[in-house]
Amino acid sequence: MPVPRVPRQDGPGERVGHAVEHVGQVVEQAGQAVGQAVDDIGGYIRSQRESAQVSLRQLARTAGVSNPYLSQIERGLRKPSAEILQQIAKGLRISAEALYVKAGILDERPASDVTDAVFADPTLTERQKQVLLEIYQSFRQEGGKHVAPGHPTEPS
């Protein structure tokens, strides 16, 4: 009489092996994502620099970094710190927040005409832009609490 086959169950060792393999895949994917972010930020900085018609040397001087270091950032070989990104943004006269989002330091916030206008204003400093947007957000939050019923801007 044949012995019935019992479905094979993974033992603890095999389950651990599968878990380690899965963790390895997750780590590899995260590494690829970080590498992509570095490439993206570098390409973004290069495109912003070129559209502003600023040379690599000029931007490096303005940002307080060396030419080779900035070149490595643009080619995706180095990931700049938040401080270096802020200096580069200042040198390009663009929003540091935009660079932080591209670098994965900040989550992207939904844009509005007001925030776009503030970020696009070349006469404002980064600090002034930040303060204006903080005030704007506080007014929006406050305004949403005190809108009269039936008013067109009443929150739904």
What percent of the chain shows pLDDT beyond 70? Answer: 64
Q: How far apart are CA 8 and CA 15, in angstroms?
A: 13
Q: How far apart are CA 66 and CA 118, in angstroms?
A: 30
- Name the residue with tokens 């509005």: 112
Percent helix / strand / coil, the chain, rounded to 5: 65, 0, 35
Residue ranges covered by each domain of the chain: 17-94, 109-147
Rg (the chain; Cα; Å): 25
Name the residue with higher pLDDT: 97 or 25.
97
pLDDT for 156 equals 45
Q: What is the chain's mean pLDDT, rounded?
A: 75
pLDDT for 102 equals 77
Closest CA to 96 of 68, 137, 70, 128: 128
pTM here is 0.49
Closest CA to 73 of 91, 90, 56: 56
CATH number 1.10.260.40 given to 17-94: yes
Q: How far apart are CA 134 and CA 65, in angstroms?
A: 30
Residues 2-48 pLDDT 10s? 665 655 555 566 666 666 675 666 555 544 444 444 458 899 899 98
Closest CA to 42 of 4, 93, 105, 85: 85
